[in-house]
Structure formats: C-alpha cells, structure tokens
Amino acid sequence: MTTPDPSREPEPTKPAGTATTPYKDRVYRSPAGVVGGVLVLAIVAWLGIDAVVVGEGRTPWLALAVMLFLGPVVFAYTLRPAVFVNDDRLRIRNPLRLIVLPWGQVASLRSGFSNEVVDASGTTYQLWALPVSVRARSKAARQDARAARAAARADARGGQGGSGGGRGGAVGGGAVGAADLGAGAALAAGGPRRAEADRAMDELREMHERRQGESGTQGEVTVRWAYEIIAPAVAGAVLLGVLWGLG
C-alpha cells in the first residue's frame, strides 16, 4: 500500500512577497517497499558477513562481491524511490535517476498499469514510489459496495420504522434504521474510496492544476543519473564476474 509519508506536515501559506522562501516538500513513498527493502538488506548483510567471517578460500571474496552488487540494487529499487512535491516543482527520485519537473513543464499525470508523469515535450517518467496496486483498488471498491448496501438498508429500515403502526415497532425499527443510516452516511461522507496511490495521484493532479500557470513554476526539466548507485553495483558485478570466471 502506498501512502504519503506520515511525517509530512501541511505546507504553510506563503505570505505576499516571499515567493523565493523554501518550504518543506511533501514526500510520498511506498511503505511496503521500504519494509521489504530493509528485510532484504538485513538478510544479505547477515549471510554476507557470516560468509566473510567463517568462509574459506574464495568464499569471502565472493560474499563481498555479492554484497557490493546486491546492496545498491536492493536499496535503489526499495528504499530510494520517493516523490517530493512543493508549490514550484515535482521531484521524482526513481531507482537510477532523479528527475526535477517544474509544474509549468508537467503536461499530465496519468494512471494505468503504472503511475506516470508526462512533461511538455512528451517524455514519460514512471513514479516508482507510487506503484499501482490492483488489490488495493479492489479493496476500495468492495468497501464502497458495502457502504452503498448499508445506506440502502438504512433507508429501507427507516421507511419501515416510520410507517409502523405499533409503538414498539416504531421505536425499534426507527432506532435500527437511524443507526444504519448514520453508519451509511459516515461511510459515504468522504465520497468514493480510493486506493492510497490513487489518492496521492489525485493530490498531485490538484497541485498541478493550481500551480502550473504561476510564474515561479517555470523552468527546464533536469534529469540526473544516480552514479552513487550505479558505480558500486557495476563494480560488484565486475568483481563477481571475474571471481566466477577464475573458477
């Protein structure tokens, strides 16, 4: 399930004349990805260090090569992805790239099999930190269906309670109908339920619509490769290949 970072705070309203004042970004991550990455890294470190300490011959070197290769790769695809948002720009930290898009350069934000942003030139960038979950969408749809059934039952019971001839029937039916009606109204108050990633995309679209025409949101799209991830992973892969080739 993908949720906005729980530690994020609402952005304060910018006072007049302070357009250049920096404000804390909203951060979106995948909690499942973070938890999974921590567990995988812990297992790799545990097995690798054990092989280095107690291994013999080339085993310690193989273990070091595997850790040097797997560590950056696992980190890149689980812990690194994030989306940072403020009033001026959208910053996407994907496994191997960092993309900065001023809101004026964002053409659209779309959701399908993956969540993506398209810039003014037509280039598409995937939002790795906001993976699409069919399971989460199905769960939200089931909750909406249950809420609709609860509201329908509440309406039916309320009508029966109001037309009952006896005191007991009126009191009992009215009480049950009122309770179900309140539950249905509470469930429906926030509108149709949405998966966490879909709600995050709704927030990004709202921000885009509100800020794309502002003067402070113009500029160029910048893309930077994450060489701090690529370099050690390539070094580990080369070392692993050499050791494997030596037999």
List, for residues 120-129, the tens digit of each pLDDT value. Answer: 999 999 999 9
pLDDT band at 152 (very low <50, low <70, confident <90, very high): low
**What's the helix, strand, coil split of the chain in %, to 5?**
55, 15, 30
Q: What is the pLDDT of residue 151?
A: 59
Region of poorest pLDDT, from 23-37, 174-188, 205-219: 174-188
Token reading at 184: 């249905």
Q: Give the count of alpha carbons within 13 A of 170, CB side only.
A: 6
**Cα dihedral 174→177→178→180 (10° resolution):** 160
- Non-local CB neighbours of 105 within 8 Å, separated by 6+ positions: 119, 120, 218, 219, 220, 221
Of residues 192 and 163, the one with the higher pLDDT is: 192
More confident residue, 196 or 99: 99
pTM of the model: 0.69
How does pLDDT run across 17-73, given as a tens digit for each residue? 334 444 578 999 999 999 999 999 999 999 999 999 998 888 999 999 999 999 999
Is residue 165 predicted with pLDDT exceeding 80?
no
Each residue's pLDDT tens digit, 219-247: 999 999 999 999 999 999 999 999 888 86
Give 222's contacts (C-beta < 8 A, 6+ positions apart). 99, 100
Q: Which of 94, 96, 72 is nearest to 84 (CA)?
A: 94
Contact of 84 with 11, CB cutoff 8 Å: no
Cα of 71 vs its chain's centroid, Å: 22
191-202 residue pLDDT tens: 556 668 888 899
> What is the per-residue pLDDT for 132?
83
What whole-number distance in Å separates Cα of residue 93 and Cα of residue 204?
Answer: 15
Contact 116, 149 (CB under 8 A): no
* Contact (CB, 8 A) for 68 and 237: no
> Range with the lowest mean pLDDT among 8-22, 25-39, 95-109, 137-151?
8-22
